[in-house]
Amino acid sequence: MTKSLKVAIAEGLPPQTLFKLRSIKRALMGQPPPERPQVAASAPAAEPEPTPAPAPVAETATELPEPRTRQTEALERLDAHKISAPYLFFDVDDVLILPAKEIARTLTLSVMYINSADVKGDIAEFGTMGGFTARTLANAMVFDPRYQPNQPLRKLRLFDSFEGLPEITAQVDLESQHVKSGTWSKGGCRILSAAELRTMVEAIIPPSRVQIYEGWFADTVKLLPDDTRLALIHFDGDLYSSTMDALVPCFERGFISKGAVICFDDWNCNEADPEAGERKAWADLVSRFNIVASHSGDYSIQGTKFIIHSYRGMKPRS
């Protein structure tokens, strides 16, 4: 390497590196250290030149069509009725299927609870529509023959008009947000016939364990025999009037057992307004029957559940 090349390389090195190399060389040769470079070791690096901000694009200038995204496909499929509900677009493990999973989880755990606590009675569902929750309850009941070997097996009592929601006449409902917005209206929420529901549920538990009550709650709940006991009620009938139609007779006739669970699917509908829907119905039931209950937690998007300890007219455990 020629001297000029060595100098050229040395001059190309950062001052600190050059200082270190020279220090090592001088130490090896027994010479005093070289002079420190003028630039302080801790000197901050020069500020980089600011990058000029991109010129703002006028919103009116973006007249190009939006690119196709997953949203485009989702909306096309929904609009073409290729899927009946948005969550069916997603994979099973997708986060948006959580509402359904959460409901299934709550109902299944509630069935496990009444078995482990040996709460007396059957399971009733008010509002069956597409059979999702009825099927879930039936599935959760398949091991009852092992858990309840010494008593009559619980029945699954399923109530629905199979005509959708009733005519809405109660003032509480007429003033509620879901009714005013048209989310709930007469005939809404109609999917399965009673026969279709029966086929679905009786493929899971035997026909002797399934009772389907077709008609308005106010009429069909009367068909329950006096010695009926209910350990779990899944109430999914949306309206204030429907809640009262179904549950007043159940409390009045002492059907609901000590320790029973009542799940309300639509608790937080109507902006969670305490003067509407299931919230208002529950408040009225509590004061009318002196119900003592524990709030045992919200679930999914709108649901909540209670465990019943006592109420006026509750029959003793038999």
Ligand X SMILES: C[S@@+](CC[C@H](N)C(=O)[O-])C[C@H]1O[C@@H](n2cnc3c(N)ncnc32)[C@H](O)[C@@H]1O
Q: Which residues bind ligand X (CB under 6 A)?
A: 127-133, 160-161, 164-166, 189-190, 216-217, 236-239, 242, 245
Least distance in Å: CB of 233 to ligand X? Answer: 12
Cβ nearer to ligand X, comparing 144 with 245: 245
Least distance in Å: CB of 84 to ligand X? Answer: 11
Tokens of 249: 């007779």
Least distance in Å: CB of 211 to ligand X? Answer: 15
User: Shortest Cβ contact with ligand X: which residue?
Assistant: 127
Cβ nearer to ligand X, comparing 217 with 267: 217
Most distant CA atoms of the chain, gap in Å: 113
Cβ-based burial of 89 (10 A; exposed 0-12, middle 13-18, buried ≥19): middle
Least distance in Å: CB of 165 to ligand X? Answer: 5
Least distance in Å: CB of 117 to ligand X? Answer: 24
Tokens of 149: 């070997």
Rounded Cα distance between 303 and 318, Å, is: 31
Cβ nearer to ligand X, comparing 120 with 253: 253
3-state secondary structure of 260: strand
Cβ nearer to ligand X, comparing 189 with 293: 189
List the beta bridge partners of residue 233: 124, 262
Cβ nearer to ligand X, comparing 122 with 236: 236
Rounded Cα distance between 105 and 204, Å, is: 18
Q: Which of 313, 271, 318, 297 is nearest to 109 (CA)?
A: 297
Query: Cβ(231)–Cβ(118) under 8 Å?
Result: no
